[in-house]
Amino acid sequence: MKHTHPLPGDIGLTRISGLTGRLIRFGQWLNGDGFADYEHAFLVLPDDRLLEAQPGGARIAPLTAYDGAHVLYVCPEGLTERRRTALCTAATAYVGVPYSFLDYLAIAAHRFHLPLPGLRRYVASTRHMICSQLVDQVYQDAGVHLFADGRWPGYVTPMALYGLLAD
């Protein structure tokens, strides 16, 4: 489900400009998502705040950080107030979690069925997360499984979230 006024527990999807955005677009293309318009995902928190993965570590920031940017807000159908509260509570445990561009390599290796034993275990053990992985993991921690295919949160891209929730 998509809408324009964000509520706590919603997922924000937006573009990233510059080299970083182009690298993420390429990573998503390797994953089969094409060259699409959303390279970043974040979770809306109460009091006009958000949780997002950043190169310096996951952080809570004001929602106004994306004023002027095109942001698409999405959430699964039927997300209750109780679940929204659980999401926001679970989100706070991830502040400071490191970011890793290598996760896009793991996603591409998975997509192309490259035999890299231990890659998933290594990525999970480092506790590094890309933005969409962070959002999916928070949802799982709150008891909401977004993807029916049981995919590991490390294999979720911003465009996978878009494809699931924005149509």
Cα–Cα dist 61/58, whole Å: 10
Residue 132 CB-density burial (10 A; 0-12 exposed, 13-18 middle, 19+ buried): buried
- Ordered structural domains, the chain, with CATH: 2-165 (3.90.1720.10)
| CB-based contacts of 87, cutoff 8 Å, min separation 6 | 8, 9, 43, 138, 139, 142, 144
Please say if the pLDDT value at position 43 is more than 60. yes
Residue 2 CB-density burial (10 A; 0-12 exposed, 13-18 middle, 19+ buried): middle
The pLDDT value recorded for residue 155 is 75
Please tell me which residue, 35 or 32, carries the higher pLDDT value. Answer: 32
The pLDDT value recorded for residue 24 is 59
Please tell me which residue, 65 or 114, carries the higher pLDDT value. Answer: 65
Question: Cα 162–127–92 angle (5° rounding)?
Answer: 70
Please say if the pLDDT value at position 7 is more than 70. yes
Please say if the pLDDT value at position 81 is more than 90. yes
Contact 41, 11 (CB under 8 A): yes
Contact 51, 138 (CB under 8 A): yes
Residue 138 CB-density burial (10 A; 0-12 exposed, 13-18 middle, 19+ buried): buried
Please say if the pLDDT value at position 59 is more than 60. yes
Cα–Cα dist 166/144, whole Å: 17
Q: pLDDT-derived band of residue 149, with 50, 70 and 90 as boundaries?
A: confident
pLDDT average, residue stretch 18-38: 61
| Tokens 């996760």 belong to residue | 103
Cα–Cα dist 163/53, whole Å: 20
The pLDDT value recorded for residue 98 is 86
pLDDT average, residue stretch 142-158: 85
pTM, rounded to two decimals: 0.81
Please tell me which residue, 8 or 17, carries the higher pLDDT value. Answer: 8
pLDDT average, residue stretch 136-160: 87
The pLDDT value recorded for residue 130 is 84
Cα–Cα dist 25/37, whole Å: 8
The pLDDT value recorded for residue 103 is 63
